[in-house]
Structures are given as structure tokens and as C-alpha cells.
Structure 1
Amino acid sequence: MDTQAQAQSDRQSDRQGTVHAEGAAAVALDRPSSATREDQRTLDDPAPPRWLLATAAVAAAAFFQLMLLLPCAVVMAVPIFFYGANTTVLVWGGLGFLILAWLVQPDWRSALKTLPRDQASALYAKVDALTDALQAPRVHEIALDDSINAGAFERHRGLSLRPTRRVLVLGLPLLRLLDTAAAEAVIAHELGHFSRRHGRLGHWIYRTRAAWMSWASAEGLGGHDDVESTSPWERAGRNFAAMFLPWFRRASEAHSRRCEFEADAQAARHASPAALGRALLLIERASQRQEESLAAMVRERLALDAEPPSDWVEWTPSLLAQSPVTEAEREALLRHRQPRGSHPPHAARLEALGCDASRLALTPAAFEDCAAARWLSPAQWQALCREHSPWAGASQRLRWAMGHAALAGTDPAQWPVAAMAPPRRDEASRRRRQRRLWAAGEALEHGRVRPHTLTSWQRDALVQALTANPLIGQAWAFDATLPESDGGGAMLCLVMRIDPVGLRERHLTEDDVLDQVQSTADLLWPAGIEWGARLSYLTEGLPPELQARVDATPRLKG
């Protein structure tokens, strides 16, 4: 196994070390962020008729499958030339084609953990009561996560043999942040999506966008965009994606904004419009404050605590309680816009609800008054916070162990400034980064590397972090020289050999190791530093030229 150099400079926008993206046909109270001029034009686009958007989505999804399967169909038609177009060949050929079409249909997988009814009967009873009041279809499952958010989606919607199941997603920090009235308003908004049947079209929108975006981004998987390296068939698909996706994105996001207004109106029929408006702005305020302060808070705890914290869900409410909202901050919350405009600006939503933003209290609920305390028992709440902690899994605990080993006993004055989430990168930037990664991988393979430029503090901290991870058996650091055609300069590259037995025992993957190392990199060097990682198993050898460099270089570990 061998992984070429992976991009590590903007993990928040699209984590490097992977070449896929997850998503869901979900409609959520997503936190907006600032927009560009192009995004402003997107927000002003009118929503197309539903029939037009549905027709475009279904037709584009079908065309995607045709593009995938037509080469296979040509191969499957070969027996006809040998045996003739008899009934048996046609039946079996058609059946095989249908099975392939079923297997390649765009789909998504959710890692959300659902909450059984018998473990949270009061919460389910509250949701059922709201559902009945709104005359919406019943929710089959409630899923929890660690976000300040809520969402609604439908599993198995579309061409599935399994029945559709409606899932309500609630973030534990959301339940801790909001009082019961605001939390009921948020849940009523999400149930409004079910009531308005938004998931039916939303499913096809999601799967169509995901399919053609995956085809369009496939060009960067090889590390370069050489036209000669792709077939005319692949280029034809990318050309279609380049023409179709911009219009489809604008049209689908305009539809999503319309759905948000409809869900708000549904919620306002039962819940207080002021409670919904307060929830929208408070969620936005908490998300912004968390983005600004969370990295620094985590780093401080990493330096002090060997074990992940159990009070993580209290961090953001404590931040908000310590600093009352100012009028300037309130105005900024109203102006905030989402770059990918699937949600309307808060000012527009509050205007539609008839809310006066200046009269809304934007302070978090005290714990005894929050939705979590009212709908869950203390024992349930503590157990759920442990289960859904950002550091609950085996891979996440290793991330924490590496971070603690790197920072424990160090001088905070040496720490780089905590990184903010980098701006969203466009496709051209992603391709450029992939080319540089490919070039760095080539440089490593041929030994075109020189000693790393890490400071002594960074190197010592990295050694301690790698020592804390039993999955990494050996590690070296180099600066790989890049050719002028790819921008020149150098890229920091970690060469690591990992234990395959340890991976299997912990049910982890190479991407998990990359994520663990990435989290350490975020602590040790400033944001924007380009670096990559080359992984191989301990049971594998290295290319001869790289092996020669490795033999002459002191190890970070092993």
C-alpha cells in the first residue's frame, strides 16, 4: 500500500488525504458565512418552478448513469455478435444492465448515530406532539451529533428497496444552547420540511449534484489534468458537468431558500415566531464564536489534560454568557450570508416572520432551563455527551493523545496562532494543489528531497506526538523540491510507515492516521503551510532512491 503526498493546508474546507466528499439530502438550519459578489447574485436568483427543477434533476441523474454504463453496455452486447439476438441473451443482458444501473446509482451513507425511543422517551414524546400539532408525518428516528445545528432528511428515498425513513438530526450543543421554546421552534421548522415534502425533490437534487460533482472533480485524482490522460468519453462528461452544474447549483439553491421560508412559515403556525427568530440568531452567534475561539480552547486543554474533556458541550454557552451581544454584533448577524446560498439571510427570514431583531435576547439558556435538561435526564445527558464527544472514537482519542504529547510542558509563547477556517477554494485552486502534491510525491519517489526546515521546537513536539501514536512505526521529515512547472519551491513531506496489524485491530484506516497527523500539524505550524504525507506499511519496502535518503536521515520515530 502506498499513498502519495496528501494536501494538508486547508483541512477545514475539504480535508486532504481523501478524494471524496460526504453529504446528505438534508435540509438544515446550517450556519451561514460571508459571501462573495457571485454569491450575492446567487442569492438574488429566483426559484425555478418545481417541475422544471425536478425534470432537470431526474434527467441529469439518468444521463449520469447512462454515461457510466454505456461503455459497459457495449461490452455486454458483444455476446449478441456471437450468439445472435435470441431471447435468452437479451433477457440476461438486460437484467445485467439493470443490476449495474442499480449498483452505480448515486447514494450517500450517514455515520449519524440514531437514538432509540426507549432511551429518550421524553424527547420523542415532545417531537411526536409537535408533529401532530403541525399535521406532519411522524419521525421514525432522532439522530444526535456534536454540532450547533439541526436538520431533517429521509433515508432510502428514491430507487431503494427499503422503505423511506424520516430522520430528525439534533446537535447536543444546540439542545444545551436553547431554551425549550426556541428548541421547539427549531424542531417545528425541521418538521415543516417533512410536512411540505421537501425531501422528495431534495433527494434528487442532492444525488444529481453529488454525481456530477464527483465526475467533474475526478480530473484531479491523478494529480494532474493532462488532457491526454483521459478518454474522450470522460472529457465529454466533464464538459457537460461544467455547463450543467453552475445553473443547477443556482436553481437548486434558490429552491432551497424557498423551502426555508416555507418551513419557517409552518413552524410559526405552532411555535412563536420570536422564538424561531431568536434561535436563528443565537445559533449563528454561537457558531461564529465557536469558530473564532474553539481552536485556542482545545489547544489549551490539550496542553493540560491527557484525557479528552467531558465538559466540551459547555464551552460555547460559557463564551456567550461572558460577553453580552452588542448592537454591532447583532447587525452583523443579520447581514451574514451563506456563500453557497441554500439558506436566506437572517434579516430576510426575520422580516418574513415579522420579528424585530432588536427585541430578541441572544443569550444562552441556563442549564436548568435548556432543552437538554428538560427533555433528557441527567444520566442520559452525561452518557450522550460522552458518546457524541468529538473525541469519542478510537481515531479521535489518538488525535487527542498526539496533541497532548506535542504540547504538554511546552511554552505557549512558541505556539503558532490558532488557525481559522480557510476560505473556500475554487476548482482551479484544488487542481493546482493536486498537481503540487503529485509533484511532491514524484520528488519523494526519486529522492529529490533535502533535510526538513522545522524549528527545533516543532521537531521535538512532532517527535513526541508520533511517539504517542502506536500505529506509526517509523517516520522521517523532508523538504521535497518541486519543479518550476508546478510553482517551484519546496513542500514539507512526512514519510511514515504504519502498522497494518494495529490498523486492523482498531478498525481504522490510513485516512484515520492522516487525520491524526493533520490535527497535530494544525498545532505545530501556522495555517497555510503546504505539507504532505507518504504512507506505507511496515511490511513494505520503499523505492530505492527514497530508501537511500531515509537511511541517511535521522528518524523522527522508529
Structure 2
Amino acid sequence: MDSSGVMPAEGIERVDRSQRVLLTVLALAGVAGFELALMLPWMLGLGLGALWFNRVYAYVGTAIVLLILWWSFQPEPRQLKRGVQRADQPGLFEVLDGLAQGIEAPPIDEVVLDDSFNAGALLLRRRWQPWRSRRVLVLGVPLLACLPAPAVKAVIAHELGHFSHRHGRLGHWLYRAREGWLWFSRQASQDDSILDRAAARFAAWFGPWMARRSFAYSRACEYEADAFAADVVTRGVMAASLAAVHLRGEAHARFMSEGVVALQSHLAEPPDNIVERIVQDQQALDLRHAALQPGGSADEADANDTHPPTGRRIAALRETPAAALATAAAWSGPSAGESWLQGWTSIVRQHDDEFAATHRRPWREEHLRLRAQGLRLQALRATEAVTDERAWLEWQLSAAADAVAAADAVLAATPGSALALHVRGAARLSLGDPQGRADLEASLRADKAWIVPCRLLLAARLAEDTPPAERKRNAVLLERAMAQRRAAVQSLLHDVMSGRVDAAPVDTTSRDILAAALAESGIVAQAWLVGRTGHAFDGRVHDAALLLLRVDPLQLQAHGMDEDDVMAWGLALLQRVLPPHLLRGAWSAYTTEPLAPALASALQQLAPLWPASTPAGE
């Protein structure tokens, strides 16, 4: 690469002919193997039956049954929101058709709008005709609301480049094989048959292995799609679009995390104008003063990523980040959504309404948590408390520097506090201080209950220049610790079902937050927070909290939920409210079913979490 940041053509990641042949064989074998694993038990059973009868009608009937079973066993097509129809949005499809023609790609069959700051091209099989596919373009409403037409046009051109006749279909076959095996590993692992469990174990290994082998090709396809798009929209516009999407996408991600938390702290309900708030936040980002790192050498790209770094993609177009940002900063005028979509105001309103409806329950729960924890933190500050609880709340609610100061105070008074070390490590890493890694390592050594929270942070924060062996070691140790925690939760749940019930080691503030969330949920009839201080399992000792829920099936149906949804919701609630070193689990039963006698008797002796006066077993 020269000093301007422009990358020579030979610096681009490429896949040579031999690698392409190997990937082609791998893709075809992966698809064929997936279909075989899906049907093997039935092929063996029905095939042996046909051989036993040894009649033509038996062979024909077996073939027909196997064909029907193959069709019914295919993974469900990805569920998407209602698509935008060509007749309703002729202006948008006119743009798409022109881009498709210029890029030598077949026309798009359907456009779907979602809530992402992104775009994507999907080749989905039709449920009733699995041998046929439909081409779907997914466009995020925030993307259409925040970027002008030239930027989004370049984004769409890139996505259509993946459908180009010049692009080939190898990428689609690789995607189909990889996703098929990953789907099989999730589904078959729930089956009790030996064959399916063996196939699931193979799928759990083969899916990620195949993904790693195909990522280099995926990155090469990204460069190729950029080049196809540049032929239509020009290199400068394509590079400017990459820069704008990268920086504005980062700003959008910050707003949807930090900005939304700020809104949740003072708004009890989701706002009814989330798109307007997103646009206002984006207007604060001035691309004239933004910076984008130039592309580096080929080995700096993450080997586990399907996309090259944005700087390298811009350099591959023989443009510089500075020039790309200058072009993007000069764009003005209405957004792409306003320019192309009829009834844009109604589309935005529908998106706002869907956001409010989807996020109402978790938003209310977060508002309750932030308000209650904020009041508790104020009380601790007023007494100048130096405690683990204050350090944790400072990290949850305050600036990272405040959390570091609170953790330092705790460690000065109580050297070796695992919670304070975790807080300081997490806060330091968020500030870009590499010393945070040492704090996290010290935390998990001080108390093994902190292994999973610390290693999760390390996995998320390990720098790209960290040796692969160190990343792999952390991933292996994390998976081992998570498996141990899952087993410990099951052990405690077995004790609880047997009637050995204790109160959970949870502070009053957290109990109040959980009770308020349960009261507002509208789906829980009874709830108890049980657990144990010092639950010993497999050589480790944990504090634990289990949320026991009794739910009315009619209320669940009214809310469009099932029992699995309730347990997932209860567990997510515990994860948001309680410190991460606690073992956390959720269990539910219908109110139409009596509790086990031992459990019902034990819960009679324990104050319920919600409602406060309901006896167990009623």
C-alpha cells in the first residue's frame, strides 16, 4: 500500500482456482451430507421394509414417502416481515431494476423493511417449492432514514452484486451448506435418538469448521461485489458509501445502546418517534471531522469474519478514506426513504409503532431497574459507602471513570474483592486501558464464580492482534465454565424440586425490581425467588438464585407466548437485574397443574416474590 492509503491490486484477498475447486467440492458435499443426515434414519427404516417385501409397489411407495418426508423436514424459510410489493412502490423497484440491469443480476422478487442500520441480499427457498428460490432485498428503515439516495443506491448495488451472473453461485451453495448444518445441530440435539445425537455432534463440529474454511472466500466476494457496484455508481461513490455506512452504523449502534439506556432512565414507555430520534442523533455526526483508519495488510483482516475491514475495502477501490469521507460529507438533500418510497411518513409511523409494541415490556422493566438502582446508588453516595454494591451500581449506571474510582476504593479497603476487580477490569477495558485484562484475570482467580463473566468480557475485548492460541484458550475455558454453570443450575433445581428450598441471596433493591417487573408482566400468577448461599457443585461454590413461576395458560396464549418463552423471559430478567457471578435459572409451571407435594410444602414456608399474599399451590 502506498502512503495515500490506496491498495495495489495484488494486496486484495483472493481465492485461486484450486481453492475455489476445493470450496466447490466442500459446498456440494456439505449440502449432500446435510440432506443425508436429515433423512438417514427414515431411509434405513423404510428401505429395509421395502427390501423385506421386495415388490415394485413397495419400492415406489417408499420413494414417494421419502420424498414427502424430505420436503416436510426441510428447514423453515427465514421468517421476514411483510414485504414491499412492486405495485405499491414503483419508484423503489425502478431504482432496483436499473441497478440489477447494470450489474447483470436478475431482478429482485421482494423487498423487506426491517429495523437495522443495514442492507442484505437473501436467496430463500420457497416453503412449498423447496427446489425454487426467491431473491429478497432487506433494507433497514433507519438506513433509509439517515442516508441520502446516492449512498443507499451504492449499498443496494453492492448487495445486488452478490446476485450478479459474474459472481457465480458458489457463495450461495456454501451459505446453504453451512446454515443447514448449523440448523441441524440446533434441532437434532433436542432429539433422543442415537443417530440424531451422533449427527448433531458432527454438525456442531462441521458447521463452524466449514464456516472458517469459507470465510476467506466470503471476504473475496465482498471485494468483488464492491467492484461490480463501483462499475455502476462509480468508485468514488462506492467508497463514500462504505465510509458513511461504517461510521453512521457505529453511531447508530451507540445510540441503540447508550442512547436508549438514557431514554429508559426517564421515559416509562418507549418513545413513539424512535426514527426521528435516530435521525437527530445522526445529525450530530459531522463526517467532515470524522476519521476512518486506512486499510492494512491482508493478514490484519479477522480470519473469523465474512467481511474485510472497511478501510481495506475502500483501498481496494483505489480510493482513500479521506477522499471517501469528503464525498460523503458533501451529500445533502432528502433521505433515500423520502426520495424513493411512497407514503414514507406512514412507513416510519408503522416502524415506530412496531418498535414501541415490541419493546414495551423490556423497556418498562429497564425503566424500573434504572430508577430503583439509581435511588439506591444515591443513598450509597450520600453515606459515602465503600462497598461491593456501590462499585457494581457505579458500573451499571455511571461513567466508567466513576466505576474505576469506586472499585479502587473497595480494593483499598478489601484487597482481593472479586467483584471490585471485575468492575475495574470491565471499566478499564471500556476506556481502552489494557490493564483491565489483568484485573479480570485476577477476579476469576480470586473467586471461581466470576470465571464466566470475566471470560465473556475477555472474549469480547481481546484485541485483533491477540495471538489466536490465546483467543482459543479463552474460548475453550469459557465453554467449559459455562457447561459447569449449567450443570450446577440443574443440580440446584433438582434440590428445589425435592423440597430443599432456601431464600435467594439477593438484596432488597433487586427483589423490589423483580417484583415490580412481575407485577407489570400480566403473565405471572405466582412467583418465588429461591436459591442458596454457597451451593457446592463439582468442586466449586456458587451463590444462586432461581425464579420459580406459575403462569396461567390462557394469559400466555393472550400474550402470544408459550412456557419456553416465559422461562427465557424470566432468565433474561434475572440477567439484567442480578450481578453476573450469581448462578441464575428460571422454572415455570401452569396454574392448572398442582406443584409437587414436597415443593408446595417447602414454598409454604417461604414468602413469595409475587404476589406477596398468595399461598403456594393455590
- TM above 0.5, yes or no, is yes
- The alignment partner of 2:506 has SS state of coil
CA deviation map 1:4-38 (0-9, x unaligned): xxxxxxxxxxxxxxxxxxxxxxxxxxxxxxxxxxx
Asked whether the 8 Å contact 1:157–1:200 carries over to 2, the reply is no
The question of 1:74 aligning with 2:37 is answered no
Query: Which residue in 1 is equivalent to 2:516?
Result: 464
* Equivalent residue in structure 1 for 2:556, among 481, 494, 503: 503
Query: Which residue in 1 is equivalent to 2:306?
Result: 342
TM-score by length of 2: 0.71
The question of 1:63 aligning with 2:43 is answered no
The question of 1:294 aligning with 2:248 is answered no
Task: Measure, in 2, the Cα distance between the counterparts of 1:434 and 1:219.
Answer: 20
Matching of residues 266-415 of structure 1 within 5 Å = 266-322=228-284, 324=286, 330-331=292-293, 340-361=304-325, 368-376=333-341, 380-389=343-352, 392=355, 396-407=359-370, 411=374, 414=377
CA deviation after TM superposition for structure 1 residue 52, in Å: 3.2
The question of 1:451 aligning with 2:495 is answered no
Asked whether the 8 Å contact 2:112–2:138 carries over to 1, the reply is yes
CA deviation after TM superposition for structure 1 residue 271, in Å: 0.9
Task: Measure, in 1, the Cα distance between the counterparts of 2:329 and 2:588.
Answer: 45
Query: Which residue in 2 is equivalent to 1:166?
Result: 135
Choose 389-398 or 529-538, whichever is displaced more.
389-398
Q: Which amino acid aligns with 2:604?
A: D
After superposition, the Cα gap between the structure-2 partners of 1:242 and 1:470, relative to the gap in structure 1 and judged at 3 Å, is closer
The question of 1:138 aligning with 2:107 is answered yes
Asked whether the 8 Å contact 1:265–1:353 carries over to 2, the reply is yes
Query: Which residue in 2 is equivalent to 1:190?
Result: 159
- The alignment partner of 1:493 has SS state of strand
- The alignment partner of 1:128 has SS state of helix
CA deviation after TM superposition for structure 1 residue 190, in Å: 0.8
- The alignment partner of 2:232 has SS state of coil
Choose 411-420 or 437-446, whichever is displaced more.
411-420
Matching of residues 533-552 of structure 1 within 5 Å = 533-552=586-605
- The alignment partner of 2:361 has SS state of helix
CA deviation after TM superposition for structure 1 residue 187, in Å: 0.8
CA deviation after TM superposition for structure 1 residue 90, in Å: 1.7
Task: Measure, in 2, the Cα distance between the counterparts of 1:365 and 1:209.
Answer: 41
Q: Which amino acid aligns with 1:355?
A: E
Task: Measure, in 2, the Cα distance between the counterparts of 1:519 and 1:386.
Answer: 29
Asked whether the 8 Å contact 2:189–2:200 carries over to 1, the reply is no
Choose 407-416 or 461-470, whichever is displaced more.
407-416
Q: Which amino acid aligns with 1:375?
A: W
After superposition, the Cα gap between the structure-2 partners of 1:85 and 1:349, relative to the gap in structure 1 and judged at 3 Å, is same
The question of 1:109 aligning with 2:78 is answered yes
CA deviation map 1:119-166 (0-9, x unaligned): 433222222222233332111111111111110012227993574221
Q: More helix by proportion, 1 or 2?
A: 2
After superposition, the Cα gap between the structure-2 partners of 1:382 and 1:458, relative to the gap in structure 1 and judged at 3 Å, is farther
Query: Which residue in 2 is equivalent to 1:127?
Result: 96
After superposition, the Cα gap between the structure-2 partners of 1:159 and 1:240, relative to the gap in structure 1 and judged at 3 Å, is farther
After superposition, the Cα gap between the structure-2 partners of 1:533 and 1:235, relative to the gap in structure 1 and judged at 3 Å, is closer
CA deviation map 1:271-292 (0-9, x unaligned): 1323222322332223333444
Asked whether the 8 Å contact 2:84–2:110 carries over to 1, the reply is yes
Task: Measure, in 2, the Cα distance between the counterparts of 1:288 and 1:529.
Answer: 32
Q: Which amino acid aligns with 1:174?
A: L
Larger relative contact order, structure 1 or 2 (CA cutoff 8 Å, min sep 6): 1
Task: Measure, in 2, the Cα distance between the counterparts of 1:243 and 1:518.
Answer: 28
Unaligned runs of 5+ in 1: 1-42, 223-228
Task: Measure, in 2, the Cα distance between the counterparts of 1:121 and 1:239.
Answer: 48
CA deviation map 1:386-445 (0-9, x unaligned): 433495475533333433455457736746626999646665465445434433432432
The percent identity for this pair of structures is 30
Structure with the greater alpha carbon radius of gyration: 2
Query: Which residue in 2 is equivalent to 1:10?
Result: none
CA deviation map 1:254-304 (0-9, x unaligned): 221121111101100111323222322332223333444533332332343
Choose 181-190 or 483-492, whichever is displaced more.
483-492
Unaligned runs of 5+ in 2: 1-12, 378-392, 398-425, 431-455, 461-474, 612-618
Choose 289-298 or 180-189, whichever is displaced more.
289-298
Task: Measure, in 2, the Cα distance between the counterparts of 1:512 and 1:242.
Answer: 24
After superposition, the Cα gap between the structure-2 partners of 1:328 and 1:290, relative to the gap in structure 1 and judged at 3 Å, is closer
Asked whether the 8 Å contact 1:212–1:241 carries over to 2, the reply is yes
Q: Which amino acid aligns with 2:350?
A: E
After superposition, the Cα gap between the structure-2 partners of 1:298 and 1:530, relative to the gap in structure 1 and judged at 3 Å, is farther
Task: Measure, in 2, the Cα distance between the counterparts of 1:333 and 1:510.
Answer: 49
TM-score by length of 1: 0.78
Task: Measure, in 2, the Cα distance between the counterparts of 1:80 and 1:504.
Answer: 44
Asked whether the 8 Å contact 2:77–2:126 carries over to 1, the reply is no
After superposition, the Cα gap between the structure-2 partners of 1:485 and 1:234, relative to the gap in structure 1 and judged at 3 Å, is farther
Choose 363-372 or 279-288, whichever is displaced more.
363-372
Task: Measure, in 2, the Cα distance between the counterparts of 1:366 and 1:340.
Answer: 34
Task: Measure, in 2, the Cα distance between the counterparts of 1:220 and 1:161.
Answer: 24
Task: Measure, in 1, the Cα distance between the counterparts of 2:259 and 2:573.
Answer: 15
Task: Measure, in 1, the Cα distance between the counterparts of 2:18 and 2:557.
Answer: 50
Asked whether the 8 Å contact 1:48–1:255 carries over to 2, the reply is no
Task: Measure, in 1, the Cα distance between the counterparts of 2:376 and 2:329.
Answer: 32
Q: Which amino acid aligns with 1:398?
A: R
Task: Measure, in 1, the Cα distance between the counterparts of 2:188 and 2:109.
Answer: 40
* Equivalent residue in structure 1 for 2:608, among 546, 555, 558: 555
After superposition, the Cα gap between the structure-2 partners of 1:73 and 1:230, relative to the gap in structure 1 and judged at 3 Å, is closer
Asked whether the 8 Å contact 1:60–1:208 carries over to 2, the reply is yes
- The alignment partner of 1:269 has SS state of helix
Asked whether the 8 Å contact 1:286–1:317 carries over to 2, the reply is no
Query: Which residue in 2 is equivalent to 1:34?
Result: none
After superposition, the Cα gap between the structure-2 partners of 1:280 and 1:57, relative to the gap in structure 1 and judged at 3 Å, is same
CA deviation after TM superposition for structure 1 residue 308, in Å: 1.8
Query: Which residue in 2 is equivalent to 1:474?
Result: 526
CA deviation after TM superposition for structure 1 residue 555, in Å: 1.9
The question of 1:435 aligning with 2:404 is answered no
Number of equivalent positions = 506
Query: Which residue in 2 is equivalent to 1:86?
Result: 55
Query: Which residue in 2 is equivalent to 1:209?
Result: 178
Task: Measure, in 2, the Cα distance between the counterparts of 1:509 and 1:441.
Answer: 21
CA deviation map 1:206-239 (0-9, x unaligned): 33223333455679769xxxxxx983x4565356
